[in-house]
């Protein structure tokens, strides 16, 4: 059987004033723990290197460059790459990316994305994804106690939903794909990965415990429930594993709900974080479990009916 020892490395809060060196030190310790527990891959959250900065308004986005990575690795992120090599462990990292590249008009300019990469133990970036579903708003909203300015700080991802076959540990080549935070709530995003036979979805998130738009229509306890529901359904309906990994705890007075999970292709939670701090959860994943769904009820070639889905495909 194809077995993969998968670790999800939840991060506790990162305060606005905290430097990347402190965070990277915490992450390296989690990688060491992951290695000791036999993990072959470790998944870190969305925007793992800093506080969840889209809660802070900056009038001129050019003054916000310090939140982004200009290159990977950099001096500050190099210890992650060194740890990967030392512990022979692949890692998934969510970060804010500045890229100098052409836009749809062909003009080369500075662009900002909410990005994730999977890095092989040898330091090679094997897969990159840029977040497609950006929640929140673009302008300062005086009605909100806490801003959620992802639409200000990021462009919509332009890489689609790639899946690559990457060598991971003893399992050999594994079909890996990524989603970032809000993407997990969109079945279309999961299906894009499922149609490429994804076996492992790496997914980081930063989700506030309080939904400021709820106005009494979403009970507080449903915040975590909706996150888990989305990930479990995505795994079941696309016959894959996922590591859903949170940034957790109170960042500068704003609470993020944690509850990181690893889910199997039956939609079962096989590991769950219990703290709101740095915490490693590990699961032994038998990738052969992806075969049942893929060859029976979710055999897309046999049973899917795209001709009836015109509204979704825009045809």
The one catalytic residue among 69, 97, 131, 199: 131
206 binds ligand CDT (CB under 6 A): yes
Contacts of 71 (CB under 8 A, 6+ apart): none
Stretch that binds ligand CDT, among 70-78, 180-188, 270-278, 302-310 (CB under 6 A): 180-188
Q: 3-class secondary structure for 143-206? A: CCCCCCCHHHHCCCCCCCCCEEEEEEHHHEEEEEEEEEHHHHHCHHHHHHHHCCCCCEEEEEEC
- Backbone φ, ψ for residue 29 (5° rounding): -65, -40
Among 182, 264, 272, 289, binds ligand CDT (CB under 6 A): 182
CB of 35 or CB of 185, closer to ligand CDT: 185
The reply to whether 136 sits near ligand CDT by the rule CB under 6 A is yes
**47: its two tokens:** 């925007």
Query: Site for ligand CDT (CB under 6 A): which residue of 2, 20, 148, 152?
Result: 148
Annotation marks residue 215 as catalytic = no
CA dist 121 and 305 (Å) reads 40
Give buried/exposed letters for 24-48 (b at 16+ CB in 10 A, else e): bebbbebbebbbeeebbbbbbbbbb
**Shortest distance, CB of residue 136 to ligand CDT, whole angstroms?**
5
Catalytic residue flag (residue 192): no
In the set 46, 97, 199, 279, the catalytic residue is 46
Q: Look-up: residue for tokens 């992650």?
A: 80
> Taking Cα atoms as reference points, which of 138, 257, 161 lies closest to residue 205?
257
CA distance 158 to 285: 31
Asked if 205 interacts with ligand CDT (CB under 6 A), we say yes
Return the residue of 207, 260, 264, 289 that touches ligand CDT, per CB under 6 A.
Answer: 207
230 lies in the site for ligand CDT, by CB under 6 A? no
Smallest distance from ligand CDT to CB 102, Å: 26
Q: Which two tokens stand for residue 92?
A: 């998934």
Contacting residue, 73, 135, 162, 187, with ligand CDT by CB under 6 A: 135
Please give the Cα distance from 224 to 283 (Å, whole number).
Answer: 20
Q: How far is the CB of 247 from ligand CDT (least distance, A)?
A: 9
Residue 294 near ligand CDT by CB under 6 A: no
Smallest distance from the beta carbon of 269 to ligand CDT, in angstroms?
18
Nearest partner of 40 among 307, 313, 291, 282, judged by Cα: 282
Q: Does 245 bind ligand CDT (CB under 6 A)?
A: no
- 67 in contact with ligand CDT (CB under 6 A): no
Using only C-alpha atoms, what is the Rg of the chain?
Answer: 19
Is the Cβ of residue 116 or residue 168 nearer to ligand CDT in the bound state? Answer: 116
Stretch that binds ligand CDT, among 81-89, 99-107, 199-207, 239-247 (CB under 6 A): 199-207
Total residues in contact with ligand CDT, by rule CB under 6 A: 10
In the chain, alpha helices (H): 20-36, 78-87, 150-153, 187-194, 222-238, 289-295, 300-303, 310-313
131 tagged catalytic: yes
| Interface positions with ligand CDT (CB under 6 A) | 46, 135-136, 148, 181-182, 185, 205-207
| Catalytically active residues, by annotation | 46, 131, 181
């Amino acid at each position: 059987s194809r077995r993969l020892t998968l670790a999800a490395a939840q991060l506790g809060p990162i305060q606005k004033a905290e430097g990347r060196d402190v965070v990277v030190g915490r992450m390296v310790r989690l990688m060491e723990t992951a290695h000791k527990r036999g993990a072959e891959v470790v998944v870190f959250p969305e925007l793992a290197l800093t506080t969840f900065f889209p809660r802070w308004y900056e009038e001129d986005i050019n003054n916000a460059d310090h939140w982004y990575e200009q290159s990977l690795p950099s001096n500050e992120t190099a210890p992650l790459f060194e740890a990967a090599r030392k512990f022979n462990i692949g890692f998934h990292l969510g970060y804010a990316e500045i890229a100098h590249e052409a836009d749809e008009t062909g003009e080369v300019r500075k662009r900002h994305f909410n990005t994730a990469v999977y890095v092989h133990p040898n330091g090679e970036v094997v897969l990159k994804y840029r977040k497609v579903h950006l929640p929140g708003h673009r302008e300062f909203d005086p009605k909100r106690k806490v801003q959620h300015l992802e639409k200000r700080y990021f462009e919509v991802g332009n890489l689609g939903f790639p899946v690559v076959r990457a060598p991971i540990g003893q399992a050999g080549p594994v079909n890996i794909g990524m989603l970032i935070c809000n993407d997990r709530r969109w079945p279309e995003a999961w299906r894009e990965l499922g149609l490429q036979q994804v076996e492992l979805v790496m997914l980081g998130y930063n989700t506030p415990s309080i939904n400021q738009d709820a106005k009494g229509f979403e009970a507080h306890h449903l915040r975590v429930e909706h996150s888990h529901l989305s990930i479990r359904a995505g795994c079941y309906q696309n016959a894959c594993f996922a590591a859903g990994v949170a940034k957790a705890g109170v960042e500068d007075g704003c609470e993020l709900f944690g509850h990181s999970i690893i889910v199997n292709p039956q939609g079962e939670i096989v590991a769950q974080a219990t703290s709101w701090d740095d915490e490693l959860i590990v699961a032994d994943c038998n990738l052969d479990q992806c075969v049942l769904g893929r060859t029976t009820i979710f055999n897309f070639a046999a049973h899917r009916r795209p001709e009836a889905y015109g509204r979704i495909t825009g045809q």
